[in-house]
Amino acid sequence: MTDATAPAAPARGSLKAADERTRKRNAAEKRFRLYGLTAVGIGLILLVTLLSAIVSNGVGAFQQTFISVNVFLDPERLDKQGNRDPADLRKVSTFGYTPLIQNAMLATVADAGVQTPLTKGTDMRPMFSAGAAAQVRNFVLENPDRIGDTVAFRILAASRVDGYLKGRVQREDVARDKNIDAEHLDLTDALVEAGVVEKTFNLAFITGSDASESRAEQAGIGVAMIGSFFMMLVVLGLSLPIGVAASIYLEEFAPKNRFTDLIEVNISNLAAVPSIVFGILGLAVFIQFAHLPQSAPLVGGLVLTLMTLPTIIISTRASLKAVPPSIRDAALGVGASKMQTVFHHVLPLAMPGILTGTIIGLAQALGETAPLLLIGMVGFIASNYPDGLASGFLDPNSAMPAQIYEWAKRADPAYYERAWGGIIILLVFLLTMNFIAILLRRRFERRW
Amino acid sequence: MYDLPQTDSHVIHEDLKVRARDVQVYYGATHAIKDVSVDIADKTVTAFIGPSGCGKSTFLRCINRMNDTIDVARIEGDILLDGEDIYDPAVDPVQLRARVGMVFQKPNPFPKSIYDNVAYGPKIHGMAKTKSDLDDIVERALRRGAIWEEVKDRLLEPGTGLSGGQQQRLCIARAVATEPEVLLMDEPCSALDPIATAQVEELIDELRQNYSVVIVTHSMQQAARVSQKTAFFHLGNLVEYGDTGQIFTNPQDPRTESYITGRIG
């Protein structure tokens, strides 16, 4: 006790005046808060920019321009034999219907009292979609008795006309565009005035199927949505039970040795493997070796299952680990078996974490494009809806992100708008899934 | 000084419930319990005392094989319950734990209702045929846990909503609901205030009528108050074992004396 000489007491100032060190510390804290706020601000600005870009570019896809015309179903052209035999009616292709629609357009223009230099039938062709002839033909095949009548149709306007009304096609561009002339735009303006041409909500974009390069106005994401849905069924049905069973075994039952360590390291590594690697694995194993059908949602689902499993296993194990050991002790202490302990006490407590992990894994899988490229789930799928569960899983289909990628590749700027529109729909799905995750979390969360 | 239950010393029965012989416990390379041999009598409270890390909890957890859940733990020697070796390969630890109940240091009710907490053990052991049987078992257990009066009107509320002392008595009720023969208590009062501690101690004294109770405690006063037999552990060895009165008044080993007088520990 003798060698400890008390240091001279430092001169202390008033508490009200901050000393040098305190000032420095306070300044450092203030700076740090500022950095944090800046980071959050940058994030918010980027988010707002992204969202506004998506909405402003994509909202057009949800509206479409239609033309109301009265088409005379000329028996001379549609049914030369006059016997309404469906087989004969079928022989008339959409080319046979185009002149009818052109004539109907001419009549409509005349009825509206619009003066235009476009007086020939073929002059009207750039105004309406190629899909219009198919629409009228389908109507005739379903209602052969209406041949000879004049029927009111709402036909799709051509994508240039639609683009003109949405501001995508400008008058100065038209000079270089061989698909449409300035006169057509004048006519469009006049017909809008007359109420014949109008832009309305486009349900077909959400429910319809893809269309060919030249019919952008007809394309919809509905079939791809069904493809995605069937894929998600496969992913959920396989990855949830496999992932949860694997994690419970690894976490609660497996001995801790080199082998389980190796498995653990591998699962962590798999989570970081680029998704395209899973795609090429799926191509080699499921398609070339197992001969499963190409482009099928079943195969897409299998590949995405491989990709989602590590995510689910890691999050499930984390939430199992987070259950306090005292709960396990309590259950074992009253004589519950290991499995009763896990299923009666540990699993219910880990449930919110497991569900959140699963839904995040699913959302990731829903937005995944790269592996689908390799198994052929990207491409032109203009077929109609699958007509049952089996064909839903096995028929060629696309998926929403693959469809968006496909549209973004196409030359017609009308598809650009649809790609953005597809992104809006995809985001709505992802937000819904995240919202469900939050709801489930709230619902199952229990304190201990 | 220690409020000794001198009058109780003649109550000690000689019929043995648990017999441990040369028990060794290793945690990996650590030799945690060395050559412990102890006889635990039926219908008696046996206290294990000793400084932190002396192995008393470890030894306690050997008696219902809770150490099995620790991968690195290895146990040698014999522990007999009613003459049967509980470490025999044919013994199912699940069955054993139904006969040797345990109460833990920290109250750990399940995040379920009070009723379900108590009913869980009887349910998984198939002790009740009907709902009313189960109701009776739950009521009996809660009464024995001296908590019935406080919770009878809110059996369906979560057990985690009770106070610490109530939670611990709920855990005791949960442990006695499966009708064990031995009740192990690992520092049951260390997380409780003095009033709750007094309630639990009173309860332990009542439980002695039916069970063999083994209690690990850090409080020598508590050991003196509730137990008839006391074992003193030090550095993994059982230093001294005998009647509580004798251990606290006339210890044979200098280490015991040092510990109870507060010189080591």
The residue in chain B having the minimum alpha-carbon distance to the alpha carbon of residue A337 is B94
Q: Find the chain A residues whose C-beta atoms sit closer than 8 A to any C-beta of B.
A: 255-256, 324, 326-337, 340, 344-345, 349, 446-448
Domain limits at B93?
14-260
What is the spatial distance between Cα A278 and Cα A305, in angstroms, rounded to a whole number? 10
DSSP secondary-structure letter at B86? Answer: T
The residue in chain A having the minimum alpha-carbon distance to the alpha carbon of residue B173 is A334
* Beta carbons of A335 and B121 less than 8 Å apart: yes
Domain count of the fold of chain B: 1
In a domain, B265, yes or no: no
pLDDT digits (tens, 9 = 90+) for A25-40: 999 999 999 999 999 9
Q: Are A219 and A392 in contact (CB under 8 A)?
A: no
pLDDT digits (tens, 9 = 90+) for B7-34: 444 444 457 889 999 999 998 888 989 9
Q: What percent of chain A has pLDDT over 70?
A: 96
pLDDT digits (tens, 9 = 90+) for A135-161: 899 898 888 888 888 899 999 999 889
Q: Are B23 and B36 in contact (CB under 8 A)?
A: yes
Measured between CA atoms, how close is B69 to chain A, in angstroms?
9
In a domain, B58, yes or no: yes
**Chain B residues near residue A330 by CB distance under 8 angstroms:** 104, 108-110, 171, 174
Token readout for B130 is 């009907």
The residue in chain A having the minimum alpha-carbon distance to the alpha carbon of residue B123 is A336
**Chain A residues near residue B106 by CB distance under 8 angstroms:** 326
Q: Are A67 and A155 in contact (CB under 8 A)?
A: yes
In a domain, B54, yes or no: yes
Report the candidate in A165, A184, A187, A164 with the shortest Cα–Cα distance to residue A113: A187
Q: Supply the CATH number for residue B226's domain.
A: 3.40.50.300
pLDDT at A80 over 50: yes
What is the spatial distance between Cα A423 and Cα A418, in angstroms, rounded to a whole number? 9
Neighbours of A242 (CB within 10 A): 15
What is the spatial distance between Cα B163 and Cα B150, in angstroms, rounded to a whole number? 11
Q: Find the chain B residues whose C-beta atoms sit closer than 8 A to any C-beta of A.
A: 64, 66, 69, 71, 94-95, 97-98, 101-104, 106, 108-111, 120-121, 124-125, 160, 171, 174-175, 177-178
Q: Are B184 and A334 in contact (CB under 8 A)?
A: no
**Chain B residues near residue A331 by CB distance under 8 angstroms:** 110, 120
In a domain, B4, yes or no: no
The residue in chain B having the minimum alpha-carbon distance to the alpha carbon of residue A330 is B108
pLDDT digits (tens, 9 = 90+) for A409-437: 888 888 988 999 999 999 999 999 989 88
Query: What residues does each domain of chain A span?
Result: 59-201, 222-444
CATH number for the A222-444 domain, one of 3.40.50.261, 2.40.33.10, 1.10.3720.10, 1.10.10.10? Answer: 1.10.3720.10
The residue in chain A having the minimum alpha-carbon distance to the alpha carbon of residue B167 is A448
What interhelical angle do A413-444 and A347-366 show, nearest 10?
180
Q: What percent of chain B has pLDDT over 90?
A: 45
Measured between CA atoms, how close is B118 to chain A, in angstroms?
10
**Chain B residues near residue A340 by CB distance under 8 angstroms:** 124
